[in-house]
Amino acid sequence: MSRPETVTLVEVGPRDGLQNEPHPIPAATKIALVERLADAGLGVVETTSFVSARWVPQMGDATEVLTGIRRRPGVRYPVLTPNLKGLERAIEAGADEVAVFAAASETFSQRNTNASIEESFERFAPLIQRAQEDGVAVRGYVSCALGCPYEGAVPPQRVAEVAERLRRMGCFEISLGDTIGCGTPLEARRMVARVAERVPPEHLALHFHDTRGQALANLFACLDTGVTTIDTAVGGLGGCPYAPGAAGNVATEDVLYMLDGMGIDTGVDRAAVVAAAHWIAGELGQQPRSRVAAAESTCSA
C-alpha cells in the first residue's frame, strides 16, 4: 500500500495535553488555545474532557470551555466522556462528537478507570446508545497499544480485539495509543497491521507519545498501512497521570514538518501552529517541548 497524499491531524493538546499540567489553567486560556489551533487549519480539535473534577481537576471547567469557544465552520470539536454522566453533561454543553477510552492492558484499565476491560465495555454500551440516539458521533481510544507501564509488552492480537469491539459498538474511528511511548517502528507497524485485519484502516488513527523519541519514526513506519489520521499535540504537550514517566504526545509541528517534507497535505499552517506552541508554553511558564518549535522560534502572539 502506498503512502497517502493527505493526512488528517487530530489536535489533542487542549485536552490530552493540558489535563496533566500541575497548575490551574484559566478557561480563557484553554478557549484561546482551541481557537488558535482551529484558525491554523486543524480540522479536529479535541477541546476538553467531561470527567470528574475530583480525579482530573484541570478539566473541571469543561462546560465553560466548550460553551465558550468560537466554533469555526467545518471544524470538529470532540470531547472526552468516560461515562454516561459525562456524556449527558457534554450534550447539555453542545457537544456533537465525543470519545471513550478503553485499554489493551487489564492492569492499566483498573488503574485508569477502576474497572476491568470487560467492565469498561459494559459502561460504554449505554453511553454509545444514548449518543447515537442524540446524533452524537463517538470515537474510541485504545490505551497501551504498544506496551503497558505495569504489564510490559501487550500482544497486538489483544489490541485488535479491543479495537474491533469498540468499532462494533458504534465508534466511527479507533485511535491506537502508545500511551507510554515505548514502541519502536517495526513494533508499531506490526501492531497496526494486526488491528487492520479486524478494523478497516480508514477507521483507525495513530496516537503516539514521544517518551523515548520514537514517535515520528513510528508514524513514518505506519504511513503506508492505510491509516490516514494522526493524533498530535501542539508543543508536545501531554503525559498521563496513570502512566509513570510518560512524556507528551508527538508534537503537531514536528509531524507537520515531516509530512510537509514528504509532500503529504494536511491543510494546516505550520507557522501558525509553531506560534501557538510558543504562546501556550509562555502561558504555562515553560518552553515548547518540540524540536521544530525550538528551531523555528516564532513567538508572534
Residue 179 CA: distances (Å) to CA of 144, 154, 175, 195: 5, 12, 11, 17
CA atoms of 301 and 299, how far apart (whole Å): 6
Count CB atoms within 10 A of the CB of residue 186.
Answer: 11
- Please give the radius of gyration of the chain, using alpha carbons only, rounded to the nearest integer: 17
Q: Catalytic amino acids?
A: 240
Looking only at the bridges linking them, the beta strands covering 204-208 and 44-45 are unpaired
**Angstrom distance (rounded) from CA 68 to CA 147:** 37
Kindly provide the b/e burial profile for residues 161-177, where b requires at least 16 CB atoms within 10 angstroms of the residue's own CB: bbbebbbebbbebbbbb
Cα separations (Å) of 1 from 36, 224, 231? 35, 5, 21
Q: Which residues, other chains included, contact 280 with Cβ-Cβ below 8 Å and sequence gap of 6+?
A: 13, 29, 33, 234, 235, 237
